[in-house]
C-alpha cells in the first residue's frame, strides 16, 4: 500500500466491489511489492517478463482512497477508477429489478385468472372483471318440475319468475319486487338447482358466481368484480345473479382484528351498494345461497337487499320419493324396486344424496352386466351412500327419531291445548340444521301485541318438548336446548322489558336499543331478575307437564303419526286431535310434487292463495283506518319490540304475510 503512494507503481485502477476496493496495477520495471500495509487485507503479485502486476484489496475507507489518489497524482501514476464490478451490477439488478419483474408477472397471473373465462376483448381489459358465467338462457333447460319435493319453496319463487318474465307489468303498477332472495339450507338440498329453475322458467340469463371466488383476490378486485357482475346483468336484464356460498363474503363485518378493512369487507360493501343501486326495478334479481344464514351480516338481510328468505329444508318422506322419481326418469328398474320403500329407508337424505344413490345403483348394475337396476343394487348403493352421510351425522338412529317424535308431539299437544294465541301450523321430525325436528306455531290472527298470558303460553309450548321426554322416556335429551334458550329469552323480556312481573314492578329494566353498556340495575336486582325468570319458566314447565299427562293418548297418536309420515300439516294435526285419525283426504296429498308438478299449476295455486289472503285482509281492514304503510310499520315495530325473543332465533322463512311466524326448533345434538 505504501507502494501505491510511492512512485514504484506505474499504473493502477481502483474498483469498488461490495464494500471494499480492489486495486489492480503494475509496478514500474524492476520494482517489487512489499505487502505490509495495514490497509491491505490481501494481495498477490505475479511476475512476468519485466512487468510485475499486482492486485490488492483496500478496505473501504474514504481517507485512504483519497490519499492513494492524491499520491498517485503527485507521483505521476496512471490511475483510473472503474465502475463497480460486474457482479455488483447483478446484485443491483436482483435488488431493484427483480421485484418489479415479479410484480409484473404476478399481475399477469392475476389477469389470467380474472379474465380466463371472459374471452373476447383481451386479457388486460378483463382485469377485475366478473368471473360469473352467464348461462345461455336457451341452454338452461332446468324447470321447476326438475326440482322435486320443494313445493313451498317453488310457490314462493313463482312471483319472482312472473316478474322476470315481464318486469314492466309489475313496474307500471308500482309493485316492488324483492331485490334479493336468500336460499338457506343444508348442502345438497337443491338450492342451486332451484335458482337455475327460476331462470329456466323465466327464460332469462343466469349469472352464477361463488362467494369463495371473491375471497381469494387482492384488495379492490373483489369489489370491482361485483360491480362488473351487476353491470353485465343489468345490460342483459331481466336476469338472475346467483351467488353461491354468500357466507364466504357476507360474514358479519368488523369481527376480525384491526378494524378489518379487508378485501372481503370491501367486497361486501360493494355488494350492498349494488343492491341498493337498482331501486327502480331494473329486472335483476339476486338469488344467494347459504347454509349459514346465522353468520351473515345483518346489513345483507335488511329490506331492499336479501329481504326474502326461503328455507330449503331436507325433504321428508314424500319429498324424497318425489326426488327419487325425478332421478329415476331414464333408468330402467326391475319390478322389485319400490321408490316409496327407498324413501322410507332414507331419512336425513338430501336431494344430492338421493341422486347419488340412484347413480351408484346404476353403476353397480352395469358392473354386474344387468339390463335393469334391481333391489339388490339399490341396497348396496344405499350402504355406500350412507357411509358418506353417516360421517356427517345425517342418518338418524331409530331411538333418536322416537325421541324427536315424542318431543315434537309434546310441543304440538301443549300448543293445541293452549291454543288461544297460536295455531300449530306444521310439525315435523325431518331434521333441519342443528334441529332434530321442529313445530311451527302461527299466531291465530294478525297478532301484534303479546299479553302476559300469550307469553306464558308460548313458554309453556316451548317447554312441551322437554316435558314430553320426561314423561315418556323419564329422561332428558339435549334436544331441548334451543327451546330453553327461547323460553328464557321470552321470560327475561317479560321481566325486564315489559314490566310483566309483579315482584319487580312496573319498570323497564332493560332496553336493548339503549343499553349498549349492559343493564342499568344493581346486583340485587339482577339476582331477583334471575329468580323471577326461573319462576316463570318453571311454572310454564309444570303447565306443559300437566297438559301432556292429561292427553297421553293423543300425544302418543301424534308421535306415532310423526314417525310414520314425518311431517304433519295443520289439517292432519287437527284431525288426529279431534278424530283420532288422519284425514281422509290426506292420501291425495301424499305426493305434493305431483300436485303442482308444473309451473302453471304452481302459479295457479299461488294465485288461489293470494286471493284467499286478499279476502282475509279485506275482512280485517273493516273498521281499521290505518293505511298499509303505517300498518306495516306498526307491525315491524311490534315485532321488534314485543316479539323480539322469538324473532331473534326463529325468523326463518318469514314472509310478508306471516310476520309472526315462529319455528320452535330443537337441537338434536
Ligand X SMILES: Nc1ncnc2c1ncn2[C@@H]1O[C@H](COP(=O)(O)OP(=O)(O)OP(=O)(O)O)[C@@H](O)[C@H]1O
Q: What residues are labeled active site?
A: 408
For residue 331, the minimal CB distance to ligand X (Å) is: 13
Compare residues 192 and 403 and give the one whose CB is closer to ligand X: 192
200 makes contact with ligand X (CB under 6 A): no
Q: Give the gyration radius of the chain's Cα atoms.
A: 38
**Nearest Cα to Cα of residue 111 among 99, 98, 122:** 122
Window 307-336: residues binding ligand X (CB under 6 A): 323, 326
Order across the sheet with 284-290: list the strands.
Answer: 133-135, 206-210, 239-244, 284-290, 180-184, 308-311
Angstrom CA distances, 239 to 81, 211, 327, 404, stand at: 72, 19, 28, 42
204 makes contact with ligand X (CB under 6 A): no
Q: Which stretch binds ligand X (CB under 6 A): 349-357, 361-369, 529-537, 654-662?
A: 349-357
192 makes contact with ligand X (CB under 6 A): yes
CB 23 within 8 Å of CB 13? yes
Compare residues 314 and 665 and give the one whose CB is closer to ligand X: 314
666 makes contact with Zn ion (CB under 5 A): yes
190 makes contact with Zn ion (CB under 5 A): no
Residue nearest to ligand X (CB): 351
189 makes contact with ligand X (CB under 6 A): yes
483 makes contact with Zn ion (CB under 5 A): yes
> How is residue 365 written as a grid cell?
348394475
Compare residues 149 and 283 and give the one whose CB is closer to ligand X: 149
Distance (Å, rounded) from C-alpha 46 to C-alpha 537? 103
**Binding string, residues 230-269; x marks residues near ligand X by CB under 6 A:** --------------x-------------------------
Q: Which stretch binds ligand X (CB under 6 A): 190-198, 296-304, 397-405, 620-628?
A: 190-198
* List of long-range contacts for 267-273, beta carbons under 8 Å, 24+ apart: 267/214, 267/215, 267/222, 267/223, 267/225, 267/226, 268/297, 268/300, 269/223, 270/222, 270/223, 270/224, 270/226, 270/227, 271/226, 271/300, 272/299, 272/300, 272/305
567 makes contact with ligand X (CB under 6 A): no
For residue 460, the minimal CB distance to Zn ion (Å) is: 12
| Count of residues in the chain | 669
501 binds, among Zn ion, ligand X, none (CB under 5 to 8 A by kind): none
For residue 459, the minimal CB distance to Zn ion (Å) is: 12
- Residue 429 has, within 13 A of its CA and on its CB side, a CA count of 28
Compare residues 288 and 289 and give the one whose CB is closer to ligand X: 289
666 binds, among ligand X, Zn ion, none (CB under 5 to 8 A by kind): Zn ion
Q: Give the 3-state secondary structure of residue 665.
A: strand
645 binds, among ligand X, Zn ion, none (CB under 5 to 8 A by kind): none
Tell me whether residue 319 is annotated as binding.
no
189 binds, among Zn ion, ligand X, none (CB under 5 to 8 A by kind): ligand X
Tell me whether residue 192 is annotated as binding.
yes
355 makes contact with ligand X (CB under 6 A): yes
Window 451-510: residues binding ligand X (CB under 6 A): none
One of 4, 79, 181, 193 touching ligand X (CB under 6 A): 193
Distance (Å, rounded) from C-alpha 458 to C-alpha 391? 36
Window 412-471: residues binding Zn ion (CB under 5 A): 465
416 binds, among ligand X, Zn ion, none (CB under 5 to 8 A by kind): none
111 binds, among Zn ion, ligand X, none (CB under 5 to 8 A by kind): none
> How is residue 333 written as a grid cell?
328398474
Number of residues that bind ligand X (CB under 6 A): 20
Give the chain's largest Cα–Cα span. 131
**Nearest Cα to Cα of residue 265 among 207, 311, 219:** 219
* List of long-range contacts for 232-237, beta carbons under 8 Å, 24+ apart: 232/130, 232/132, 232/134, 232/207, 233/205, 233/207, 233/284, 234/278, 234/282, 234/284, 236/134, 236/204, 236/205, 236/207, 237/167, 237/282, 237/283, 237/284
Angstrom CA distances, 189 to 193, 339, 348, 644, stand at: 9, 19, 11, 30
CB 493 within 8 Å of CB 525? no
192 binds, among Zn ion, ligand X, none (CB under 5 to 8 A by kind): ligand X
Distance (Å, rounded) from C-alpha 253 to C-alpha 296? 9
Which residues does residue 24 pair with via DSSP β-bridges, in sequence order? 13, 55
Footprint on this chain of Zn ion (rule: CB under 5 A): 465, 483, 666
Footprint on this chain of ligand X (rule: CB under 6 A): 147-150, 185, 187-193, 244, 289, 291, 323, 326, 351-352, 355
Annotated binding site: 185-192, 407, 411, 483
Annotated binding site for Zn(2+): 407, 411, 483
Annotated binding site for ATP: 185-192
Amino acid at each position: 500500500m505504501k507502494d501505491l503512494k510511492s512512485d514504484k507503481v506505474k499504473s493502477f485502477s481502483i474498483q469498488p466491489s461490495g464494500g471494499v476496493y480492489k486495486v489492480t496495477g503494475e509496478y514500474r520495471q524492476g520494482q517489487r511489492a512489499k505487502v505490509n500495509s495495514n490497509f491491505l487485507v490481501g494481495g498477490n503479485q505475479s511476475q512476468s517478463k519485466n512487468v510485475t502486476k499486482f492486485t490488492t484489496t483496500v478496505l473501504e475507507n474514504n481517507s485512504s482512497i483519497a490519499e492513494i489518489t492524491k499520491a498517485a497524482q503527485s507521483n505521476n501514476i496512471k490511475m483510473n477508477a472503474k465502475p463497480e464490478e460486474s457482479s455488483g451490477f447483478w446484485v443491483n439488478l436482483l435488488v431493484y429489478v427483480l421485484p418489479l419483474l415479479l410484480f409484473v408477472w404476478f399481475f399477469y397471473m392475476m389477469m389470467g385468472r380474472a379474465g380466463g373465462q371472459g374471452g373476447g376483448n383481451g386479457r388486460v381489459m378483463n382485469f377485475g372483471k366478473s368471473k360469473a358465467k352467464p348461462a345461455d338462457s336457451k341452454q338452461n333447460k332446468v324447470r321447476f318440475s326438475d326440482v322435486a319435493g320443494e313445493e313451498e319453496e317453488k310457490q314462493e319463487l313463482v312471483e319472482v319468475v312472473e316478474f322476470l318474465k315481464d318486469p314492466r307489468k309489475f313496474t307500471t303498477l308500482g309493485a316492488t319486487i324483492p331485490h334479493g332472495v336468500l336460499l338457506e339450507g343444508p348442502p345438497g338440498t337443491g338450492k342451486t338447482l332451484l335458482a337455475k329453475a327460476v331462470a329456466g322458467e323465466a327464460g332469462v340469463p343466469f349469472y352464477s358466481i361463488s362467494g369463495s371466488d371473491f375471497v381469494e383476490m387482492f384488495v379492490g378486485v373483489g369489489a370491482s368484480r361485483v360491480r362488473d357482475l351487476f353491470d353485465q346483468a343489468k345490460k342483459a336484464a331481466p336476469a338472475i345473479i346467483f351467488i353461491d356460498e354468500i357466507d364466504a363474503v357476507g360474514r358479519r363485518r368488523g369481527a376480525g382484528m384491526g378494524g378489518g378493512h379487508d378485501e372481503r369487507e370491501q367486497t361486501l360493501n360493494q355488494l350492498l351498494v349494488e343492491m341498493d343501486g337498482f331501486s327502480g326495478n331494473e329486472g335483476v334479481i339476486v338469488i344467494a345461497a347459504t347454509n349459514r344464514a346465522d353468520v351473515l351480516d345483518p346489513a345483507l338481510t335488511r329490506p331492499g337487499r336479501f329481504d326474502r328468505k326461503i328455507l330449503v329444508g331436507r325433504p321428508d318422506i314424500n319429498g324424497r320419493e318425489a326426488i327419487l322419481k325425478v332421478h329415476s326418469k331414464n333408468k330402467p328398474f326391475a319390478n322389485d324396486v319400490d321408490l316409496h320403500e327407498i324413501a322410507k329407508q332414507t331419512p336425513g337424505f338430501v336431494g344430492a344424496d338421493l341422486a347419488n344413490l340412484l347413480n351408484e345403483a346404476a353403476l353397480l348394475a352395469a358392473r354386474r352386466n344387468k339390463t335393469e337396476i334391481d333391489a339388490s343394487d339399490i341396497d348396496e348403493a344405499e350402504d355406500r351412500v350412507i357411509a358418506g352421510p353417516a360421517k356427517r351425522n345425517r342418518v338418524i338412529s331409530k331411538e333418536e327419531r322416537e325421541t324427536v317424535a315424542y318431543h315434537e308431539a309434546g310441543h304440538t299437544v301443549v300448543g293445541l291445548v293452549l291454543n288461544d294465541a297460536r295455531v300449530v301450523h306444521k310439525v315435523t321430525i325431518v331434521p333441519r340444521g342443528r334441529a332434530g325436528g321442529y313445530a311451527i306455531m302461527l299466531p291465530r290472527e294478525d297478532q301484534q301485541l303479546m299479553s302476559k298470558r300469550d307469553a306464558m303460553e308460548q313458554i309453556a309450548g316451548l317447554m312441551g318438548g322437554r316435558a314430553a321426554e320426561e314423561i315418556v322416556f323419564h329422561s332428558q335429551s339435549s334436544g331441548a336446548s334451543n327451546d330453553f334458550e327461547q323460553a328464557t329469552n321470552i321470560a327475561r323480556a317479560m321481566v325486564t322489558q315489559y314490566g310483566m312481573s309483579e315482584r319487580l314492578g312496573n319498570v323497564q329494566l332493560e332496553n336493548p336499543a339503549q343499553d349498549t353498556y349492559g343493564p342499568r340495575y344493581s346486583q340485587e336486582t339482577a339476582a331477583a331478575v334471575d329468580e323471577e325468570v326461573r319462576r316463570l319458566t318453571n311454572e310454564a314447565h309444570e303447565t306443559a307437564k300437566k297438559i301432556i299427562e292429561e292427553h297421553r293418548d293423543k300425544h302418543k297418536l301424534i308421535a306415532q303419526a310423526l314417525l310414520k309420515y314425518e311431517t304433519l300439516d295443520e289439517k292432519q294435526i287437527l284431525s288426529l286431535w279431534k278424530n283420532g285419525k288422519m284425514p281422509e283426504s290426506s292420501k291425495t296429498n301424499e305426493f305434493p310434487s305431483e300436485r303442482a308438478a308444473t309451473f302453471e299449476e304452481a302459479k295457479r295455486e299461488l294465485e288461489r292463495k293470494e286471493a284467499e289472503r286478499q279476502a282475509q285482509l279485506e275482512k280485517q281492514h273493516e273498521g281499521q283506518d290505518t293505511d298499509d304503510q303505517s300498518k306495516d310499520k306498526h307491525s315491524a315495530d311490534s315485532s321488534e319490540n314485543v316479539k323480539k325473543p322469538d324473532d331473534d332465533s326463529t325468523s326463518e322463512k318469514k314472509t310478508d304475510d306471516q310476520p309472526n311466524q315462529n319455528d320452535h326448533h330443537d337441537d338434536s345434538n
